[in-house]
Amino acid sequence: MAGHATTKVVGQTDAQATPRFAGLTTFARLPRLDQVPDYDVAIAGVPFDAGCTYRSGARFGPAHIRQASRLLRPYHLGLGVAPFEANQVVDAGDLSANPFNIPQALEAVSQGAAQLIADGRRLVALGGDHTITLPLLRAVAQHHGPLAVLHFDSHLDTWGTYFGAEYTHGSPFRRASEEGLIDRNHSIHVGIHGSVYAESDLSEDTDLGFSLIPSEALEEGGVGPVVQRIRDRVGDQPLYISTDIDVIDVGMAPGTGTPEAGGLLTRELLLILRGLRGLQLAGADLVEVCPAYDHAEVTGIAAAHVVYEYLALMATEPRRLSNESLAGHQVQQ
Ligand code: MN
Ligand code: MN
């Protein structure tokens, strides 16, 4: 396992020297990939939205989230960690994806992600529409085997095809399940709300390996029982977290492509994530931020804070994930 015992971690630009609103934009004013000798966690944008079925524009999500992340500070009070000290976190820029050819885009994202996570490094991806989670899962599962997927979304995203297209933002988890990328005994959706096509959407979803916590569960029992259900379901399997920003109520995250009423409070989502300390977080993404529909950076700020929660969770775990540290957690489909 590689490490940086002799290398000083480079954190955010000094906000006392350069105000947070000044300077070139990276996520949380962190160094770029080419400004440090090595890293533990890479943040990469995936500006791709050719898989959208409703409002397009999530291709501008990464730039918007970066801009909205400028105010993030070094110390995470909730978990008592300094995310940018515990790990060398870098902004790796954007993964290039063909905007006119979805299969080619998926291949490019998968290859780009695989390079960034070599030797146990971890990746947090900024979307882009939810199509990008499939190639990200392909890359991460290649290292760790089938993954427990924790999926925050208003939608199931296990639909079949749309206008004959297999790869859209409505189907990444069906394709991932078919490809054996997800651990069918340990995966879960959280925050589902809005309408579906038929009741069979739910039974098919169960067959694909997901259990489900609807958004109403937050109203019934609060955050604590939801956290416990997630922890019970995920166990100690290698975990991938995918958050579609539309899991948050459209009133608190209007800048998204497929809005539904009745979602989580931003605070509820952040608190749930904070409850996941100690799980084997192998990778994560935040998708579906569509800045043209945002107001006053409300959605961008929510997205930046979700990513900050990911980085805080990663700060509570070893800098590099070795296959050994996850050995024994591989589960057959
Ligand atoms: Mn959604
Ligand atoms: Mn989605």
Three-state secondary structure readout of 69-102: CCCCCCCECCCCECHHHHCCEEEEEECCCCCCCH
Residue 142 alpha carbon to ligand 1 centre in Å: 26
Residue 127 alpha carbon to ligand 2 centre in Å: 11
Average pLDDT over residues 66-74: 98
Residue 240 alpha carbon to ligand 1 centre in Å: 17
Which ligand lies nearest to the CA atom of residue 247 in the structure?
Answer: 1
Four-point Cα dihedral 299, 66, 20, 81, nearest 10 = 90
List the single range of 59-63, 278-282, 302-306, 328-332 with lowest mean pLDDT.
Answer: 328-332
Residue 320: band (very low, low, confident or very high) from pLDDT cuts 50, 70, 90: confident
Say whether pLDDT at 305 is over 50: yes
Q: Average model confidence (pLDDT) for the chain?
A: 94
Residue 146 lies in a domain: yes
Q: pLDDT tens, 204-257?
A: 999 999 999 999 999 999 999 999 999 999 999 999 999 999 999 999 999 999
Would you state the pLDDT for residue 279?
95
Q: pLDDT tens, 20-29?
A: 999 999 999 9
Would you state the pLDDT for residue 322?
66
The answer to whether 144 touches 304, Cβ cutoff 8 Å, is: no
Residue 170 alpha carbon to ligand 1 centre in Å: 8
Domain limits at 141?
Answer: 4-315
Return the CATH number at 230: 3.40.800.10
Which tokens in the block code for residue 319?
């800098």
Model confidence, pTM: 0.95
Residue 26 alpha carbon to ligand 1 centre in Å: 26
> Cβ of 323: how many Cβ atoms within 10 Å?
13
Residue 157 alpha carbon to ligand 2 centre in Å: 6
Q: pLDDT tens, 114-169?
A: 999 999 999 999 999 999 999 999 999 999 999 999 999 999 999 999 999 999 99
Residue 240 lies in a domain: yes
Would you state the pLDDT for residue 2?
45
Residue 171 alpha carbon to ligand 1 centre in Å: 11
Would you state the pLDDT for residue 332?
31
Would you state the pLDDT for residue 6?
55
Residue 170 lies in a domain: yes
Residue 170 alpha carbon to ligand 2 centre in Å: 6
For the chain, give the percent of residues with pLDDT over 70: 94
Would you state the pLDDT for residue 330?
36
Burial class (CB in 10 A: 0-12, 13-18, 19+), 200: exposed
Average pLDDT over residues 47-61: 98
Residue 167 alpha carbon to ligand 2 centre in Å: 13
Residue 321 lies in a domain: no
Domain total in the chain: 1
Which ligand lies nearest to the CA atom of residue 287 in the structure?
Answer: 2
Residue 333 lies in a domain: no
Residue 289 lies in a domain: yes
Residue 71 lies in a domain: yes
Residue 329 lies in a domain: no
